[in-house]
Amino acid sequence: MDRSYELTPPSPSDEDSDDGFGEVNGQPSTTPQPLRLISSRVRSQNRFFIVAITLMVIAVATYGVTTIYFADETDSLEAYNTETGLLGDDSSHPIVVEDKYSLDGKVDDKYKDLIDKHGKPTSTIDAIESKVNLTQNAQQAAAARWNRTHPGEPMPTPCERIVLRHKNWIHRNISKKDGVKYDIVEQLPHDAGAFTQGVTYYEGKLYESTGLYGESTVRILDAATAKVEKTVAMDEAFFGEGMAFHNGLLYQITWKEKQGFVYNATDLSLVKSFVYTTTKQEGWGITHYGCKDEFIVTDGSNYLHFWDDTTLKQKRKIPVKRLSGRSATKLNEIELWRGRVLANVWFEDVILVIDPETGKVEKEYDFSNLWPRAERKKAKANVLNGISVSEEEDTLYVTGKLWDRIFKIKLR
């Protein structure tokens, strides 16, 4: 039998000098052509894999270094406005901002390794040279970081960043004709005797304002269970309406009395009262617009009223238009979420999504199937009225007047 193909592999020296065309060191190769081609292809593949792995290692290392540097920039942009537009709180008030790179102008020892290890002294030194004062407010600190990484570019406002973060949702067209465009996450028990006029959330607590003369209250609920933890009754001369949280205080408006109240959110003790006017001389819903240091107020008309959050005086008002082009009358309880105003409409099972700068309704969510009217009638429950953000950025609380349940939902 011819065993001329059962030859030993070429020696290392032969491999190095084989030109791949049947000769070794200028002499005819004794290795059969098919085996030489296979050997050559294997060596080529090995070289390819080595190069590919090397490039992957370089890419991962580069990504790691870049992430470490730019993570602080991203965090700094979001840290001071985490609550703005999400929890309805104004986070631009002065807070302590620690310079994480230096102390008294000297590099902190724990950051020296970072400089040496990643070879990025410029970025760290820039941060040290532009360190902020410990009492400077967080917005100024974030602006300084932005200017270092985006010289010459205007810094997006907190509202603009929120809108950019949720642009896919904001640009999505949704109307009542689209049917159910939400998912129910959880259902919690609720006091069926509560004539809910306003609900707002902050740090694990739901704050609720209830109405009716002689029955109006302000309440603190455990957000996880909806169990009432504390209740304060209002004077029977007042009909409680919407309520908003801002800077540790609760701002409540009343129906026809044109008088509002400010409570300490911890114990519901009364801090002060104030007077106000609106288009209809009534108060229905209120939420805080942290990006502009304002409160947004509804009064059952088609207007959003904007108050200075310090003086509580009206600065402007804008009309609201439905998707159909008609006026959005009977605007009731409202909440600020993702840079947009969410609004209940009296006696309509719908939640409107409104651009607070233009008054344009961008979406209309149909909630007629959340708890159908026929079922509500049997339970002697009233209209849908009550929207609040939750501890989860994309989840909302929804309830109504005399409802025995609170729903946690996610809008699509």
Series of mean pLDDT values for 10-residue runs along the chain (412 residues): 40 41 48 56 66 71 47 38 34 32 46 46 40 47 78 78 77 88 96 97 95 98 96 98 96 98 97 97 96 95 97 97 96 94 96 96 96 95 94 91 96 90
Q: Is the CB of residue 88 less than 8 Å from the CB of residue 288? A: yes
Q: What pLDDT is recorded for position 56?
A: 76
Please tell me the total count of domains within the chain: 1
* Sign, Cα dihedral of 155, 156, 158, 162: negative
Written as one string, the DSSP assignment of 33-96 is HHHHHHHHHHHHHHHHHHHHHHHHHHHHHHHHHHHHHHHHHHHHHHHTTSSTTTTS----S---
Write the CATH number for 192.
2.120.10.30
Question: 198-219: b or e for each residue (b if 16 or more CB lie within 10 Å)?
Answer: bbbbbeebbbbbbbbeeebbbb
**The residue type at 133:** N
**Beta-ladder partners of 27:** 24
Q: What pLDDT is recorded for position 150?
A: 82
The boundaries of the domain holding residue 259 are 167-411
Nearest to 165 by CA among 153, 154, 156, 177: 156
**The residue type at 332:** N
Q: Is residue 36 part of a domain?
A: no
Q: Is residue 42 part of a domain?
A: no
Q: Is the CB of residue 74 less than 8 Å from the CB of residue 66? A: no
Q: Is residue 31 part of a domain?
A: no
The rounded distance, in Å, linking the Cα atoms of 362 and 352 is 8
The rounded distance, in Å, linking the Cα atoms of 315 and 303 is 13
The rounded distance, in Å, linking the Cα atoms of 216 and 166 is 37
Q: What pLDDT is recorded for position 61?
A: 59
Angle between helices 33-79 and 109-118 (to 10 degrees): 150
Q: Is the CB of residue 265 less than 8 Å from the CB of residue 207? A: yes
Q: Is residue 393 part of a domain?
A: yes
Q: What pLDDT is recorded for position 67?
A: 44
Q: Is residue 85 part of a domain?
A: no
Q: What pLDDT is recorded for position 157?
A: 73
Q: Is residue 13 part of a domain?
A: no
pTM: 0.66
Q: Is residue 186 part of a domain?
A: yes
Q: Is residue 124 part of a domain?
A: no
